[in-house]
Amino acid sequence: MTNSALATAHTNVALVKYWGKQDLEKNIPATSSLSMTLDGLWTRTRVTFDESLESDLVLLNGQRAEEKVSLRVSGFVDMVRVMAKTNCRVSVETENNFPTAGGLASSASGFAALCAASTAAAGLDLDLQQLASLARQGSGSAPRSLLGGFVALNLKKAESGQDCVVQQVAAAGHWDVCMVIALCADGPKKVGSTAGMERSKRTSPYYQGWLDSHDLDMQEARSALERRDLDALGRVAERSCFKMHALAMSSDPPLIYFKGATLNAIERVWQLREDGLAGWVTIDAGPHVKVFCEAENAKDFAEQLAKVPGVQKVMIAPVGPGVKVGQ
């Protein structure tokens, strides 16, 4: 078996969000989702099966990962070991070129890269949907980072025998758009996505409304994407984002991922839009504001957001590529 492989996966940002699981154990989302893969923000992971190791060794950005992270990585590699019929321990060296666990989808690119590298290192030859199913068990947003461009993770009916299927809805070249990312705080979030989703599912009175209104968001987003209709897709993306945060805020106890700078940035984007600069906000389970806009307007948004009180750094991410595997 090939015993070492390197994979690079880019992060993605959902335009139609996933929030809530229908099956916690298998990590099956309760809704479909639609994302854009981001260029310039990536995780690069080398997995090496090593007979001389007595336990898995996980390095994150050159440092021994904390136990919680190591256990999650080992748990994931256990699934690969079962498939490859091996007990061999691994070293996992992983590097993110952006802040980890702060609402910038590090788990999406992280588990996409880990999935691709560990299966390649184990000599497994999996098709895209098999990889997606495995990646999803690491993180619900990870299958979307296997592909470039605009990507849907579609739930399937139980009788189809598949849980969900990943699909490239449009390639990166389909549309010259960007996400302008305004970093609005430092450090990891206090409540992770899985815990937040479960809390919303259990306690938010709006959870059923979220499920009931989700298909329409997916349909409208797909159609707007096909037509390259920025207004229409931006509008769906904003409403999906704020529905998701309304679920978080209406949970018991409430969950607020926003910081003061988040609200300042939202206000600035909306003001700029009123003044004729077209861009729409989306925010994940963290404080950072991402603005979806035409590539030609990205610099203007970046300059404006850099002046917003509390915004620490601004990045521009065009549409990015899918996962790449090497030796």
Contact yes or no for 267/307 (Cβ under 8 A): no
List the x/- string, 242-281, binding to ligand 2P0 by CB under 6 A. Answer: --x-------------------------------------
Q: Which is nearer to ligand 2P0, 217 or 284 (CB)?
A: 284
**What is the residue-wise DSSP string for 136-175?**
HHH-TTGGGGGSSSEEEEEE--GGGS-SEEEEEEE-GGG-
Give least dist CB 155 to ligand 2P0, A: 13
The answer to whether 11 contacts ligand 2P0 (rule: CB under 6 A) is no
Give least dist CB 56 to ligand 2P0, A: 19
Contact yes or no for 234/278 (Cβ under 8 A): yes
Scan residues 216-245 and list those touching ligand 2P0 (CB under 6 A).
Answer: 244
The answer to whether 145 contacts ligand 2P0 (rule: CB under 6 A) is no
3-class secondary-structure state, position 81? helix
Q: Which is nearer to ligand 2P0, 122 or 244 (CB)?
A: 244
The answer to whether 141 contacts ligand 2P0 (rule: CB under 6 A) is yes
- Binds ligand 2P0 by CB under 6 A, chosen from 27, 94, 200, 264: 27
The answer to whether 194 contacts ligand 2P0 (rule: CB under 6 A) is yes
Q: Compute, in degrees rounded to 10, the torsion defined by CA atoms 133, 4, 148, 135.
A: 20
- Binds ligand 2P0 by CB under 6 A, chosen from 32, 45, 137, 139: 139
Q: Find the helix or strand (DSSP H, E) in which 92 lies.
A: strand 90-96
The answer to whether 163 contacts ligand 2P0 (rule: CB under 6 A) is no
- Burial, 165: exposed, middle or buried (Cβ in 10 Å; 0-12, 13-18, 19+)? middle
Scan residues 284-313 and list those touching ligand 2P0 (CB under 6 A).
Answer: 284-285
By C-alpha distance, which of 237, 243, 223, 311 is closest to 278? 237
What distance in Å separates the CA atoms of residue 137 and residue 25, rounded to the nearest whole number?
8
The answer to whether 32 contacts ligand 2P0 (rule: CB under 6 A) is no
The answer to whether 155 contacts ligand 2P0 (rule: CB under 6 A) is no
Give least dist CB 293 to ligand 2P0, A: 19
Token pair of 282, please?
A: 């989306």
By C-alpha distance, which of 225, 324, 240 is closest to 283? 240
- Judged by CB under 6 A, which stretch of 135-143, 203-211, 214-222, 259-267 contacts ligand 2P0? 135-143
List the x/- string, 35-74, binding to ligand 2P0 by CB under 6 A. Answer: ----------------------------------------
Q: Which amino acid is at 34?
A: L
The count of residues interacting with ligand 2P0 (CB under 6 A) is 16
Q: What is the DSSP letter of 66?
A: P
Q: Which amino acid is at 327?
A: Q
Give least dist CB 269 to ligand 2P0, A: 18
Quote the Cα angle for 325-326-327, to 5°. Answer: 140
Q: Which is nearer to ligand 2P0, 16 or 272 (CB)?
A: 16
H helices of the chain, where? 67-84, 106-121, 128-138, 193-203, 207-227, 230-249, 260-274, 295-306
Give least dist CB 161 to ligand 2P0, A: 22
Q: Which residues bind ligand 2P0 (CB under 6 A)?
A: 14, 17-19, 27, 33, 107-108, 139-141, 193-194, 244, 284-285
